[in-house]
Structures are given as C-alpha cells and as structure tokens.
C-alpha cells in the first residue's frame, strides 16, 4: 500500500440514496477536518448527480462550522437546475444534524470561444527549491520537537520565498509554491480536479499574514479559519502528479478578515484554474486593545 492512496481513498463518497452521500473525514493535526477534504468530497457528490458531457467549471463554498474528525459527513445534494448548457448543484455537508459546509457547483458542456490568459510569473523552478516538508521538519527539531512520521498531505510542496519561522519578518503578500502528488496515480480528470481543489485550500490564507510577519499559529491570533472559497476551472487536461505552480496573493486584510486570490499554472505556463478565498483573522483581545 502506498502512502498516498489511503489519503485519496478517504476522498471517495458512498451513495446512500439518489441525492444523499456519506464521506469519511480526514485526520488533520488539529482534530478538525481539512477544508480541502470537504470541498473534494462535495465535488464528487455533486458530480455523481450530473449527466455525462457536463464538466465542473466553478464552485463557491462557505465553511460554516469546524468539521469533526471522528464522525462521518453526510452530503445532501440539491439539483437546483438542469439546463441545456449549464447544470447547477447545491450540496450541504452535515454532521450531528447541523450544516458544517455548503457548496454551489456549476457544470458546463463547453463551447468554442475567444481565448487569452494572464501569463505565469517568472519564478524559480521546483528543482531549484527546497522541499517544504524537510524545511518544517528542521524547524521542529530546532524547537526541540519531533516531526510526525505519518504524512497528512499527499503532496510535496516547494515554496517561493517562504516565511522564516525562526525569525519572521514582513514579506510581500505575493508568493506561491509548486506542488505535485507524491506518487503517480491512475484516475480520470475528475479525480485530478478534486485533488487540485483539495490542495487549493492549503496555505492560501497565509498570504494575508505575510505583510504582518505572522503565520497561522502566531500567538497573537485567536482564530484563523477559511470563511469561503471560490474556484474556477479553465482547463481539463492536467494532472496533479505533475508539477503545478500555485500563485497566491493576499490582496487585503482588515476588520478581522483577509481576502486572497490565486492562480494555478502547469510547467508550460497554461493557466489551469483560479481561486479566491476570504478568511477570518481574529486577534486576541489584548492585541486588539494594543491597536486601538
């Protein structure tokens, strides 16, 4: 058994009824459920109710409550529209009778049209960058902690201009990282799209903290969480077990929130997908008083 396949297997959902599905939560270090995991499962539940020929092109999510890692998640699909060119689905993820997450997903048959894109920025190639997992393991050891042997992310990542966790300094909100699945996999394009959506929620809101020399676990922060997440798929022929660059920009922070936007490119410079996310960045009370 590979290290990656069990994580991928956890993304599958079980059909209980025509429009009702059940998924297994993932084991995240904070005992909650990773947002990207719920997005990927809700995508599959929606896709299983859509006819052939329709491809997912956009999704809009709201994270309502923290997911509980020890309980299964129900996905209730609402088939709100079936058109000739577009199909729309709304999915509610439920635990303990309460909604923890909701997603609206739109599917399109695809048409011929004019084409252009914003080009990929000039960044170092993944071969020229250190592996993030190895870097964080070194930092943990420097703080006298032992890194976990069990991987919780199926991707290897290599960041551009990462924050120095031992000596954080203000940095530009424009950054990014390369990622690819740690092993080659079989699977259709829909699986690769779900895995791209899975990782699109990872290290996204960190871009909003960089100008403030902060990381999500900064002691000045009381609560850090994704509030909503949008994603638009521009291409269909891509693989997440090949290197993809995720450009992330922290566009704005204020009022206890932050807005980030992202773009995902393959190594040839094709724009594969775009993202946007608003997050909660709640300071501790003493930090709020210091700013007033």
Active-site residue, 226 included: yes
Question: Residue 198 half-sphere exposure, CB side, CA atoms within 13 Å?
Answer: 26
* Cβ within 8 Å of residue 165, ≥6 positions away: 136, 139, 215
Q: Which of 41, 159, 200, 201 is catalytic?
A: 201
Structure tokens at 249: 């920009």
Burial-class residue 194 by CB neighbours within 10 Å (0-12, 13-18, 19+): buried
Active-site residue, 201 included: yes
Q: Which of 41, 159, 206, 226 is catalytic?
A: 226
Kindly give the pairing relationship between strand 20-23 and strand 13-17: antiparallel
In angstroms, rounded to a whole number, what is the distance separating the alpha carbons of residues 260 and 248?
A: 7
The answer to whether the beta carbons of residues 209 and 281 sit under 8 Å apart is yes
- The torsion of the CA quartet 179, 184, 188, 191, rounded to 10 degrees, works out to -40
Active-site residue list: 201, 226, 277
């Amino acid at each position: 058994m590979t290290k990656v396949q069990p994580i991928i297997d956890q993304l599958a959902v079980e059909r209980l009824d025509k429009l009702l599905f059940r998924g297994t939560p993932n084991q995240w270090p904070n005992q909650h459920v990773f947002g990207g995991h719920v997005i990927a499962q809700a995508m599959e539940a929606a896709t299983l109710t859509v006819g052939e020929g329709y491809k997912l092109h956009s999704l809009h999510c709201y994270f309502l409550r923290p997911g509980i890692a020890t309980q299964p998640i129900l996905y209730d699909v609402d088939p709100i529209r079936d058109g000739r060119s577009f199909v729309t689905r709304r999915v509610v993820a439920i635990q303990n009778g309460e909604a923890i997450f909701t997603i609206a997903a739109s599917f399109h048959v695809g048409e011929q049209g004019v084409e252009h894109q914003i080009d990929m920025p000039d960044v170092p190639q993944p071969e020229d960058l250190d592996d993030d997992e190895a870097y964080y393991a070194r930092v943990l050891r420097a703080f006298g902690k032992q890194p976990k042997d069990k991987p919780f992310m199926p991707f290897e990542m290599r960041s551009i201009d990462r924050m120095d966790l031992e000596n954080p300094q203000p940095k530009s909100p424009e950054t990014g990282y390369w990622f690819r699945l740690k092993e080659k996999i079989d699977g259709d394009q829909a699986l690769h799209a779900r895995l791209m959506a899975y990782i699109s929620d990872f290290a996204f809101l960190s871009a909003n903290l960089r100008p403030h020399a902060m990381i999500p676990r900064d002691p000045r922060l009381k609560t850090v969480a994704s509030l909503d997440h949008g994603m638009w798929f521009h291409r269909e022929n891509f693989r997440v077990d090949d290197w993809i660059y995720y450009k992330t920009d922290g566009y704005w922070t204020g009022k206890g929130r932050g807005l980030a936007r992202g773009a995902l490119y393959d190594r040839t410079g094709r724009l594969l997908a775009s993202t946007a996310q608003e997050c909660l960045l709640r300071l501790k009370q003493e930090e709020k008083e210091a700013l007033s």
